[in-house]
A and B are shown apart, each in its own frame.
Chain A
Amino acid sequence: MSGQANEAPSESGSLLLAIETSCDETSVAVVRGGREVLSNVVSSQIDTHRQFGGVVPEIASRKHVETMTIIIEEAVREAGVSLTDIDAVAVTQGPGLIGALLVGVVAAKSLALALDVPLIGTHHIAGHIYANSLVGDIIYPSIALVVSGGHTEIVLLEAEGKFRIIGRTRDDAVGEAYDKVARALKFPYPGGPHVDKLAQEATEEVVLPRSWLEPDSYDFSFSGLKSAVLAEINRSRMKGEAPDFSALARGFQQSVIDVVTGKAIRAAKEFGARQMMLCGGVAANRGLRERLAALCEEAGVPLLIPPNKLCTDNAAMIAAAADLKWRRGQFSSLDLKAEAVMSLEDWSV
């Protein structure tokens, strides 16, 4: 980490302060030149929401208000910069929980007004994708596989900041399917990592269906697979047997990984991608990482995966994406509106 407090920002790139509050993490980061993370403070509410078995939007919004200025202060202090050195304020505009987004958006607008600097409303998924630019160089055209609790998308980037969604989930996001299956397997919230671990350790596999949809489609559907897991559990119970949770976890995970990585590789080939990027909270899934790495190597496509702390929701990734707009002078007005649903393609530079 760089702790040079009196360095002139113009000599070494712009200083962006970014705020992310789209779900249950309050995060603020200071990033120099869109690439160098000076601080990336994340305050997770996971312990609060665990007792409710999932994220409660009203409580998430209340927590964001409680921690907002504390986290801003920590991020500025940790970055070793002075508040007056900040060149612009970036914020997650959407998509996400509207009440949660509002807290970050209003805080960012207040900071932009107080510091008299530009405001940059930023797309959350663009953030997940550009987290990759914090760990490597993105080579275009590039395919991004975005997998998280709220999103499952295959995005084609033909050039820097040009987003084209070629596939998306038609029902549950992959992380959502993991959490639902985890609940059926009696794991506490959030259960995704438990399912991954159990699947890794399994010696048996209950083979479950693959949902490929239409032959040329890059879309996903996970609700049928989740139902298949529940049906298997019921079938065992009717026979008076204990369901084999580890074999089910493995069957579920193998089905998800086959489809997700299979479609991503097919997209990379069809669009002549020179790189694959894996991003979003589910990118922490070990089974998924390993399979995608193997397939990419086989296909001769280099793979970028950010470290876990940049895969889960964080503000440094928002600064990385906002830098695309900063360099082009594309700023938001103080009337920026938080959007629960927001188009990634329209956010392109």
Chain B
Amino acid sequence: MKIDEELIEDSGSVTVLAFDTSTAAFSAALVRDGSRIDSVASFAERNHSVRILSEIKELLERNGMKGEQIDAIVVGQGPGSYTGVRIAVTAAKTLAWAWNKPLIGVSTLEALALGAWLKLRTENEDLADDRDIWIVPILDARRGQVYTSRYAADHSGGWRTVDSDAIRLITDWAELIEDEGTEDAQVAAIWFIGDTPLHQAAIEAAEQSGTRLRMLAWDMDATALGLLGELKFRLGERHDVHSFVPNYTQLAEAEAKLLAASRGE
């Protein structure tokens, strides 16, 4: 996938409403034709259910928009806080159903990663050759675990998923990333982004080469979510509103125990 603008001219003007509540941040954005129209972010101590609809309403009104004028609703599908991701997904499903608009789910981790890359891209001109830069988003999942994935970006707009969303132990994951990055001459730099302050020690412990593992504390920005959603919309991706569910990446604890018991573990 190319995150740059080549698709846009082919398929007319597209406006999406994007929002995510999977992390400590609430973020919503209006994105049109690859650019942010307006956005809002707040850190309401995971009390996103209270303000989410008022914030969306104000965002639309402030920009003189009505639901009918939106081409698609884009939502962060998680992973992240179970309760948090349900809030945005429920709002997105219900709004998409009531307004009869397409629903597009985007990985919260991918949006987090792209948001960080769009910032890093301008600041890393020294790496502006044709090699890959790995963006590894991490969200704390407690007990030494993180929700994570891996993307390969380059300065000509390339954007590729290397590993999809999963829950992993940060110590093992950081070591694996470091090992693979060291072996792969195509990799120019590795950025861990997201909840890095919480996992700084584990990431630093995995460092062997001494120069290439970098960290950026980064919060969710729905603008990046909207950009990804708009691209997917232009590529014809749609989710079925009724069957769309969060990506929790793991079973509920009670289900996992039941499954283990049925296997005789």
Contact = CB atoms under 8 A, between A and B. Distances in A.
A298 B67 CA distance: 60
Interface in A293-349: 333-338
Interface stretch (A2-10, A54-62, A125-133, A224-232): A54-62
Interface stretch (B95-103, B134-142, B150-158): B95-103
A111 B93 CA distance: 10
A51 interface: yes
A106 B245 contact: no
Interface stretch (B115-123, B191-199, B219-227, B247-255): B247-255
Given A110-B94, A111-B98, A113-B57, A337 B50 contact: yes
Nearest to B96: A69
B241 A69 contact: yes
B87 interface: yes
27 contacts: A52-B254, A58-B253, A61-B83, A62-B246, A65-B86, A65-B245, A70-B242, A72-B97, A83-B98, A99-B83, A102-B86, A102-B90, A103-B86, A105-B49, A106-B53, A107-B93, A109-B52, A109-B53, A110-B94, A111-B94, A111-B98, A113-B56, A114-B67, A114-B95, A333-B54, A337-B50, A338-B49
B94 A69 contact: yes
A111 B53 CA distance: 10
Interface of B: 47, 49-54, 56-57, 67, 82-83, 86-87, 89-91, 93-95, 97-99, 241-243, 245-246, 248, 252-255, 258
Given A52-B254, A58-B253, A110 B50 contact: no
A110 B49 contact: no
A68 interface: yes
A115 interface: yes
A73 interface: yes
A114 B254 contact: no
Nearest to B253: A58
Interface of A: 51-52, 56, 58-59, 61-62, 65-66, 68-70, 72-73, 83, 99, 102-103, 105-107, 109-115, 333-338
B53 A56 contact: no
A106 B252 contact: no
Given A65-B86, A106-B90, A113 B53 contact: yes
B57 A69 contact: no
Contacts, number: 99
A55 to B, nearest CB: 10
Given A72-B97, A110-B53, A334-B54, A66 B254 contact: no
Contacts of B51: 335
B98 A110 contact: yes
B91 A56 contact: no
A69 B53 contact: no
A69 B86 contact: no
B54 A335 contact: yes
B152 to A, nearest CB: 32
B121 to A, nearest CB: 35
Contact of B254 (A58, A70, A105, A107): A58
B238 to A, nearest CB: 15
Nearest to B89: A65
Contacts of B254: 52, 56, 58-59
Given A109-B52, A336-B50, 19 more contacts: A56-B254, A62-B245, A65-B86, A66-B243, A66-B245, A68-B93, A68-B94, A72-B94, A73-B97, A102-B49, A102-B86, A102-B87, A102-B90, A110-B90, A111-B94, A112-B53, A113-B56, A114-B95, A334-B53
